[in-house]
Amino acid sequence: MYKNIGWHNANGKNTLKFTSALFLFFLLVSATSLRAQGGKAGYFIQAEKLFSEKKYYEAIQHYEKYLSTETSIAARSTPFAVRKKSPGKSNLSMHNEAVYHLAESYRHMNDWAKAEKLYKEATGFSNRAYPASQYWYGVSLRANNKPEEALAAFTSFQETYYTMDELLVGADKELENLKFQQEEKSKLKNGFFVTKQPGAENTSTYAAAIDGDSVYFTSIYKDAVAEKQGKDYFVARLYRSTGYDDNIAANPEKVTIPGEEGSHIGLATFTPEGKKMFFTRWMVENGATISAIFSSDKTDTGWSKPVKLDEPVNMPGSNSTQPFVTTDGNFLLFSSNRPGGVGKYDLWYATLDSNANVLLVTNMGNIINTAGDEFSPSYHTLYRHLFYSSNGRIGMGGFDIYYAKGDFQLSNWEKVSNAGSPINSSKDDLYYVPTDPDNVWNTGLLSSDRDTDCCLDVFSVRQDNAQYVSGTVIDCKTKQPLQGVSLIVKDSKKGKTVLSQETDAEGKYNFQLKNTSRFDIVANKQGYEEATGNYLVTMITGRDTIQNDALCLSFIVANPSNPELDNALEALNETSTLAKFSYNKSYVEGSYYEKLDSLARLMERYPDIVIEIGGHTDSRGKESYNLILAQKRVDACIKYLAKKGISKDRLVGKAYGECCPLEPETINGQDNPAARERNRRVEYKLLKGKVNEQ
């Protein structure tokens, strides 16, 4: 949005600071008279002070109290009338000033519903005193999805406002936004479902970022202790949750980062192996936001003390924010208002070396950047799509999500496109990140304030698609169709069964999928070897028909020789490490999925075997706590295997704690970190069942 531009006079000079200071002087001098009249206008004095300091939330409380208790006092009969205060305000009305500044405060807090009501009242004041009121009334109407009324407000503004400044330019752009909105509404197809993820009441959850099967997000909450101490009591912190298909804020884990006190933290991004995290840290000083990008390394004990990135990422006198590391680890994208850009906040990218050190920073150019603000970049590597938000282009209004196809190596970008409705709304829409590595639009997450009076929330994005899949199962040798083949269809990325059915008399099957870009069909028939077909779907909006190639089953030959499989099964007779864990952590890292998948495949092949899953820790901490931690690690592995279709009845979990280290954790009295890392593990071994027979 265009911030504070309503304070320009005919000469284009900003009068806000002078006006506020002069006005406060007269008010403070008259404090005795105020108290004599009941002290009600004291709320107004404090509100004006807070407003001038850009403390809008606090100012709102005092303006509301003043307006709810004000008495009818003519401006000329009070000591608060300041002659020739500014153009159009020869006689100050405290009521008018309070209403307009309250509207401005709600606007800065993105509470457009309350701002609309107050700006509407302000349009009845002197047009010379409050020339921007009609403009911001129109913006409020547009944000509140009232296009016809907004059109009338902007048209009225253009008929009475003659100064060539950002307001007049903004009105032209807003009229184009309204036209774009109407075009989007006239489209016959609605290609996406955008659903708000439920979160805790009175909090803001936004800026989701994906790292493996984890999602990190920023959440703002009210700190009651800080409020009592008179400090900034709305605090932004980073949280982590597992999985992003349901509610990411249901059971989040706070990410502990050293040195958080006195600052806000948000929007994390990670190098491909997950060992380094970049994030934004910011503070608010004298009403101004000061932000920079920091990095932290994953250690045995958690995240290391953050380090502020040097130039050229963080430049003196400017802000850098909202980092994003591409999945290949080659580039760090971010937004900055540094000199040398196209507009206010531009998108930039830094080239990274193999250790994630910054080599060179480059502006993304005027195809991507505008004279406005560009925020929250992300990139889909497979489809070479850049996603970001901008308020400098024609769209639905406020910040919209845009995309462009291109390549950082070549620095070439194709035409920028608006993501359209319903991904974009009449309010602010930011932080779009695709969550399907195979399909750019299939699923994703975004942040929007479309359903609130002030703050951003996380929304799930799902493309409206369906695939009607059909195929045939045949005998590999005779090529004849096989009837009664049991089929299990699995989502191979999520590891869960989608549906099951049998082939008909002609060996055929058919089923419907939605938003499942990778799936497996596991086929079983008595007397035949199990076979699995793996499939990748290219998503398109709407309904699609997919004909699979024939899946063939091989007739079982008595006691066939398979040395490679026999060796793998033989290994089950010995204890083997299944996964390792970071210090004090119990979630399974992605690098161990293949081992778990391999075990699941063997257990599917041999349905009579039972496996023990044993959890171990290092010797740090109390023994009782280590047993609990070991059990959590066991449970995480069993949960993963269960998602792969393995019955929990065939998995016996046991917590060993710090018992049975593989290596001594001290050598000659010296700590041995490498041994502690090996000892933090989950192992598996065969308990019962035949593994050497077909």
- pLDDT the model gives residue 85: 46
CA distances from residue 121 to 3, 90, 170, 580 in whole angstroms, order as listed: 20, 20, 21, 64
Which pTM was predicted?
Answer: 0.71
Query: Could you write out the DSSP letters of every residue in 421-457?
Result: TTTS-SS-EEEEEE--SS-SSSEEEEEE-TTSSS--E
- pLDDT the model gives residue 198: 78
Mean pLDDT of 168-187: 90
Residue pair 578/683 in contact by the 8 Å Cβ criterion: yes
List the domain boundaries for the chain. 5-186, 192-463, 465-553, 563-688
Q: At the fourth CATH level, which superfamily is domain 563-688?
A: OmpA-like domain (3.30.1330.60)
The Cα–Cα gap between 242 and 253 comes to 9
Measuring CA to CA, which residue among 317, 305, 195 is closest to residue 244? 195
The Cα–Cα gap between 100 and 613 comes to 66
Mean pLDDT of 252-256: 89
Q: First CA to last CA across the chain, in angstroms?
A: 69
Res 40 pLDDT > 80: no
Of 195-209, 327-341, 501-515, 525-539, minimum mean pLDDT range: 195-209
Mean pLDDT of 602-628: 88
**Which phi and psi angles does 64 have, rounded to 5°?**
-65, -40
pLDDT above 70: percentage of residues in the chain: 84
Question: What residues contact residue 663 under an 8 Å CB cut-off, 6+ apart?
Answer: 672, 674, 675, 678, 679
Average pLDDT over the chain reads 84
Task: Specify the CATH number of the domain 465-553.
Answer: 2.60.40.10
Which residue has better confidence, 673 or 368? Answer: 368
**Which phi and psi angles does 225 have, rounded to 5°?**
-65, -45
CA Rg, the chain, in Å?
A: 31
Res 672 pLDDT > 80: yes
- pLDDT the model gives residue 523: 96
Res 199 pLDDT > 80: no
Q: pLDDT band for position 204 (50/70/90)?
A: confident
**CATH entry 2.60.260.20 includes domain 5-186:** no
Task: Specify the CATH number of the domain 192-463.
Answer: 2.120.10.30
- pLDDT the model gives residue 81: 33
Q: pLDDT band for position 14 (50/70/90)?
A: very low
The predicted-structure confidence for 361-398, as pLDDT tens digits, reads as follows 999 999 999 999 999 999 999 999 999 999 999 999 99
Which residue has better confidence, 652 or 38? Answer: 652
